[in-house]
Structure 1
Amino acid sequence: MMIKIKTSKRLFFLLLPVLFLCQSAFAATPVKPTIQVGSYHCPPFVIKHDDGTYSGLSILLWERIAEQLGFQYSIKDLGLKELLQAVSTQEINIGISCLSITSERELILDFSHSFYETHLAIAVKKQGYLASVKNIATNKHLLTVLGFVFAAAAIVGAVYYLLEHKVNEKLYSKSSRRVRLIEGFILGLLFITKGPFNYFEFKTLTGRVITVILAIATTLFIASVTAVLASTFTLGLLSSDIKGPNDLANIPVGAKETSTSSEFLTNHSIVHRTYRDTNQLLQALEANDVEAIVADDAVLKYLIKKSKEKGEYEDLIVLPYQFEKQNYGFAIEDKSQYAEQLNRALLKVRKSPEWRQALHEYFAEK
């Protein structure tokens, strides 16, 4: 019996260092932190599927960051207002979606580095062809350009009339002075819109010298007028009287609640209706509850494009005006211990081929 006891003690002392080493090894193994994540549906940055799973650019970025840093996490679905509040009160550690970095939000929480840049945009519903013709005919910019063209034609026509009408029967073939004045105006109009006449069409030396000078000036003038008219007709065919954010003041406008779009409209004293999410915003525009909506350009274009692929919202368009730049970032709790690690991982993911490919897949025109 004594031998067995001595053997047991000897075995215990032999195994003791092994047990100590094992305990130290387990103690040294880092426990992966669990991050509480909040998000909301905002295609193509966060797309929540019917089965409760998520995809999108922001989700991809966060997944790769979590992999690099060894984070475990759970995602909680929240509205924009609730998400910002939850991060500011540290109920959740991070908010991921299409969150614009603003000074107002920086007062209550922190942001990661920016990972995507866009701007605010205006979406409207196209009208019919008669409305398009009306928009073009009443366009103040177009009327100003046409008035300038006719005034320039009258001046050029008058100068050539004074110089040439007595000696140039080819250009001024009628005997009536009134008709000759009309011929002079037509000459000036052709000169302005079509370009200079042949040098030898004019009999007087002064007329020929002016022709050479105007040949240079009208070439630039015609190019400028053509560009202005093309732009005006293109915008007119968009069937919208809205030429920028200042035109929103006198029409019903919608924006997402608590969004930078709503803040922009409020700061510019533009009364507007607010909606919980962008889908409700698009529905309101489609139903003519509002005449225009303001939201982030990237989000609007993606949602309208995807809707048109399904045969929905076919009359909705995003106007070609850029204003109020937006930079997206992750909302993180104030003085987060993970901020530096997160930013370093974020910058690394942004340089990866996978990220560039994802941008192409979501935003490439098809």
Structure 2
Amino acid sequence: MSARRVVGLVVGVLAWAFSMPALAEPRVEDFRVRKLVVGTMRVPPFASRGDDGVWSGLSIELWQKVASQLNLGYEFREFDYDPDAMVHALQTRQIDLVVAAMPVTTDGEARFDFSHAYFAAGVGVAVRSEPTAGILATLRRLFTWQLLVPIGGLVGLLLLVGTSLWLIERRRNPGHFDPRMMQGIGDGIWWAAVTMTTTGYGDKTPITWRGRAIALVWMFTSIFCIATFSATLASSLVVGRLKSSVDGPEDLPRARVGTVAGTAGELWTKAQGLKVLTYPFMIQASKALKRGEVEALVVERAILGHMIQEYQWNDLLILPQTLTVRDYAIAIPSGSPLMEDINRAVLTVTHHPDWKELVQRYVGQSEP
């Protein structure tokens, strides 16, 4: 065999060998002749399944719009609160992509690809507030030093004004202010109280110029006293309602903290080195917080807000601080030919004016 033929044969073999992987790679057209298998799990308000088996949620509607643009058929495969199994199925290509509440992470990026982000999820803290119903709960909020000090000051003022008025009026006005000390001081305190509350029965009236001067000063002073007392009372009731062992992120290392598997909240607690109780799904974690098994729950604010609103759990509240922000995206196997098309479709959907309305409908806000 001549050298020219040998060289030609080698070149041909090498060309065939290098072309094999390319021939084996799926093309975008291949996905249009079969249904895509889309992995998901129930994470309201991003993905939820009704009793009729129909899926809905912000992430679900995003995918439906993307699939419609790309003319892709698909079917959902639910992973029952098992994010690890869902990720494993994606890596082994048992499913074609994941659409749920998938946070973008460096660890995930090393194992598969992410589309462009479609939602910025702020991680927050939910705590249990003090009971707000019942006589005992109300009394417990009222009898605090914050409220008892102004009450004591108010009683002292009534005693001072009432006694002063009695000392001035007792001789010239005995019909209204009894000359006897205990009865007379009582008359003075009664007058000071009804004047302060603007009730003004008129059964007791000062007649001396000094008594009327005290009355005039007390009328204006009592307006300020009532306003201050009302503000203090309202503040005491609100603070009592919001009272919790966790007031902010700085309290989390000393508290019993819970989170939900597969959420951005779990990622944050791990990054902070917190010891946490991890629950498989949100409803279980929320009930653990309600019964006091944990003192705080670290999960995405949108998920927390939806759960509290859905079940009318007014004894739970979300602290104002946002711990971190994680982007949500569609997860796709590494090297998938669908990536570019999906990215373009995601950008088209999220830049359309209807997207903000969709976010508002499901999440109630567009910012973390």
Residue of structure 1 equivalent to 2:350: 346
* Match among 24, 29, 40 for residue 31 of structure 1: 29
Count how many residue pairs are aligned between Structure 1 and Structure 2. Answer: 317
Return the offset for 1:143.
0.9
Give the secondary structure class of the aligned counterpart of 1:122. strand
Q: Which amino acid in structure 2 is aligned with residue 217 of structure 1? A: F
Q: Which amino acid in structure 2 is aligned with residue 144 of structure 1? A: W
RMSD (Å) for aligned C-alpha atoms: 5.4
* Percent identity (aligned): 14
Return the offset for 1:154.
3.8
Return the offset for 1:213.
3.9
Please say if residues 191 and 197 of structure 1, whose CA atoms lie closer than 8 Å, have aligned partners that are also in contact. yes
Segments of 5+ residues of structure 2 without an aligned counterpart are: 1-27
77-86 or 66-75, which deviates more:
77-86
1:13-43 Cα deviation digits (max 9, x unpaired): xxxxxxxxxxxxxxxxx83757774422113
Residue of structure 2 equivalent to 1:24: none
Q: Which amino acid in structure 1 is aligned with residue 152 of structure 2? A: A
Instruction: Find out whether 1:96 has 2:102 as its counterpart.
Output: no
Instruction: Find out whether 1:228 has 2:228 as its counterpart.
Output: no
Please say if residues 163 and 188 of structure 2, whose CA atoms lie closer than 8 Å, have aligned partners that are also in contact. no
Please say if residues 45 and 303 of structure 2, whose CA atoms lie closer than 8 Å, have aligned partners that are also in contact. yes
| Distance in 2 of aligned mates of 1:33 and 1:187 | 88
Q: Which amino acid in structure 2 is aligned with residue 225 of structure 1? A: T
Return the offset for 1:63.
0.1
Residue of structure 2 equivalent to 1:122: 126
Residue of structure 1 equivalent to 2:217: 210
Residue of structure 2 equivalent to 1:259: 263
Residue of structure 2 equivalent to 1:329: 328
Please say if residues 256 and 275 of structure 1, whose CA atoms lie closer than 8 Å, have aligned partners that are also in contact. yes
Please say if residues 154 and 185 of structure 1, whose CA atoms lie closer than 8 Å, have aligned partners that are also in contact. no
100-109 or 161-170, which deviates more:
100-109
Residue of structure 2 equivalent to 1:278: 282
Please say if residues 39 and 86 of structure 2, whose CA atoms lie closer than 8 Å, have aligned partners that are also in contact. yes
Q: Which amino acid in structure 2 is aligned with residue 96 of structure 1? A: V
Residue of structure 1 equivalent to 2:317: 320
Segments of 5+ residues of structure 1 without an aligned counterpart are: 1-29, 309-315
Give the secondary structure class of the aligned counterpart of 1:149. helix
| Distance in 2 of aligned mates of 1:111 and 1:182 | 79
1:284-303 residue pairs with structure 2 within 5 A?
284=288, 288=291, 290=293, 292=295, 294=297, 295-296=299-300, 298-300=302-304, 302-303=306-307
Return the offset for 1:258.
4.4
Distance 1:137 1:103, change over 3 A: farther
Return the offset for 1:322.
3.4
Give the secondary structure class of the aligned counterpart of 2:124. strand
Return the offset for 1:341.
3.8
Residue of structure 2 equivalent to 1:150: 151
| Distance in 2 of aligned mates of 1:231 and 1:165 | 39
Return the offset for 1:58.
1.9
Return the offset for 1:67.
1.1
Return the offset for 1:276.
1.5
Give the secondary structure class of the aligned counterpart of 1:320. strand
| Distance in 1 of aligned mates of 2:105 and 2:193 | 53
Distance 1:293 1:352, change over 3 A: closer
271-280 or 34-43, which deviates more:
34-43
| Distance in 2 of aligned mates of 1:221 and 1:352 | 44
Please say if residues 121 and 321 of structure 1, whose CA atoms lie closer than 8 Å, have aligned partners that are also in contact. yes
Give the secondary structure class of the aligned counterpart of 2:46. coil
Distance 1:259 1:185, change over 3 A: farther
Distance 1:113 1:85, change over 3 A: same
Return the offset for 1:167.
2.0
Return the offset for 1:46.
1.1
Please say if residues 155 and 188 of structure 1, whose CA atoms lie closer than 8 Å, have aligned partners that are also in contact. no
Q: TM-score, normalised by structure 1?
A: 0.59
Distance 1:33 1:209, change over 3 A: farther
